[in-house]
Amino acid sequence: MFVDRVRVPEGLAPDRTHHDQWPFTIPCVAQLIEEGLSFNRPVTFLVGDNGSGKSTMVEAIAESFNLDAYGGRLARVHGRPDPTKTPLGEVLRAETTSAGARMLAGPRKRKKGFFLRAETAFDMTENLGGVPGYWEEDTSAMSHGEGFLTMFQAMFDAPGFYVMDEPEAALSFTACLRLVGLMHQLGQSGAQVVCATHSPILASTPGADIIEVGDHGYRRTRWEDLELVDHWRRYLADPHAYLRHIITP
């Protein structure tokens, strides 16, 4: 593993004048500032609904390891429109393992890290196919799902620190299963993965640490105890029980 823990040092914590400003009002962000977050296993999932704050957290976690919140590698070759950090990324710090410290201090070619976020990954598949250091395939000619999987296989090919924000956005059921296999393999190879998701398929990756994010803040839990899993089970068993509240006869 490369990161043991992320935290906000006391001197960087927002003062009272900023406590009522976004994103510090989000329960999980407030808890992160108060307690920090430790990583216990090679693969960690932050699971929660839209607006729960899981994406805000993974963006800042990526930035704490010198990854760009816009998406991309440790080496910011291509840059982004707005190079400023996110508000939480400005204050969050990573406590690295010895392997993580060596990677950050080492030469660029040995730095293995990547942040994938759904909103910008589409641009990557359109523009980075054939660019040295990325992938040879012409992903602009592929479907979004095929392009995503090609990107995953090319960029997550060695032990490194990999952060993902809702990678399931363009993936079918079977493609999600392939990504589960890839993430499990990465965890066993010495890599570290931190992924925000609302996919019960991805969260089922064997051996992963699952952190449920919501109005309560965040808490570790088991896959079978996730609220997300419970809703999917009940919906698939009886869709009408949910749809009757949404669709007017």
**Residue among 46, 39, 44, 43 nearest 196 (CA):** 46
**Greater pLDDT, 199 or 73:** 199
pLDDT at 79 over 60: no
Torsion of CA 83, 84, 90, 96, to 10 degrees: 0
Phi and psi dihedrals of 163, rounded to 5?
A: -120, 135
What's the confidence (pLDDT) of residue 155? 78
What's the confidence (pLDDT) of residue 78? 46
**Greater pLDDT, 81 or 11:** 11
Contact present, 69 and 76 (Cβ < 8 Å): no
What's the confidence (pLDDT) of residue 19? 66
What's the confidence (pLDDT) of residue 110? 75
Question: How does pLDDT run across 86-121, given as a tens digit for each residue?
Answer: 999 999 999 999 999 999 988 877 778 889 887 776
The predicted model scores a pTM of 0.90
Burial of 145 (0-12, 13-18, 19+ CB in 10 A): middle
Among 45-59, 75-89, 206-220, which is the least confidently predicted range? Answer: 75-89
pLDDT at 218 over 90: yes
What's the confidence (pLDDT) of residue 131? 67
C-alpha–C-alpha distance, residues 46 and 144, integer Å: 23
Domains along the chain with CATH numbers: 3-243 (3.40.50.300)
Q: How confident is the model at residue 238 (pLDDT cuts 50, 70, 90)?
A: very high
